[in-house]
Amino acid sequence: MKEFSIRTTTRRQFLDITPQVREAVLTSGVKEGICVVYCPHTTAAITINEHADPDVVRDLGMALGKLVPEHANYAHSEGNSDSHIQCSLLGPSQTLIIHKGRLVLGTWQGIFFCEFDGPRQRSFYVQIIGDKEA
Ligand code: ZN
């Protein structure tokens, strides 16, 4: 397993982690298999969406903010229930396919670390299983 550390700089942020995950797949030497990207936090998530146009994840963040407003009649005393709920909506992990030694991603797809309660020091894990021979 590989662990990556990242620093987020705003309360809500989508960081493109596709290059780090691609690199982990390359160095693993796995040709055919599965790659899990997992985030061990309760106010952050992992998603896959378009990374060609940064407005796509900007709009995603705006829509999540409308779905789950920052201030409501929440019980959680820490004051970040919106962050916890947005985290659960997107989920803590994504599973990707490795084929011919490469991640199978569509032309426009990228992998994002989604921060909902930054800025913070964060981490995510990449676990790769599979065959080193095709
Ligand atoms: Zn909390």
CA torsion through residues 48, 54, 60, 61, sign: positive
Q: Which residues of the chain have pLDDT under 50?
A: none
Q: Across the chain, where does the E strand assignment appear?
A: 2-7, 13-16, 32-38, 44-50, 93-99, 102-103, 109-115, 121-131
Ligand 1 is an ion; its neighbours by CB within 5 Å are 78, 80
State the distance from the centre of ligand 1 to the C-alpha of 99, rounded, in angstroms: 39
pLDDT at 25: 98
C-alpha span between 119 and 56 (Å, rounded):
21
State the distance from the centre of ligand 1 to the C-alpha of 23, rounded, in angstroms: 33
Q: What percent of the chain has pLDDT over 70?
A: 100
State the distance from the centre of ligand 1 to the C-alpha of 8, rounded, in angstroms: 17
User: Residue ranges per domain, the chain?
Assistant: 2-131
Q: For the domain 2-131, what is the CATH code?
A: 2.60.120.460
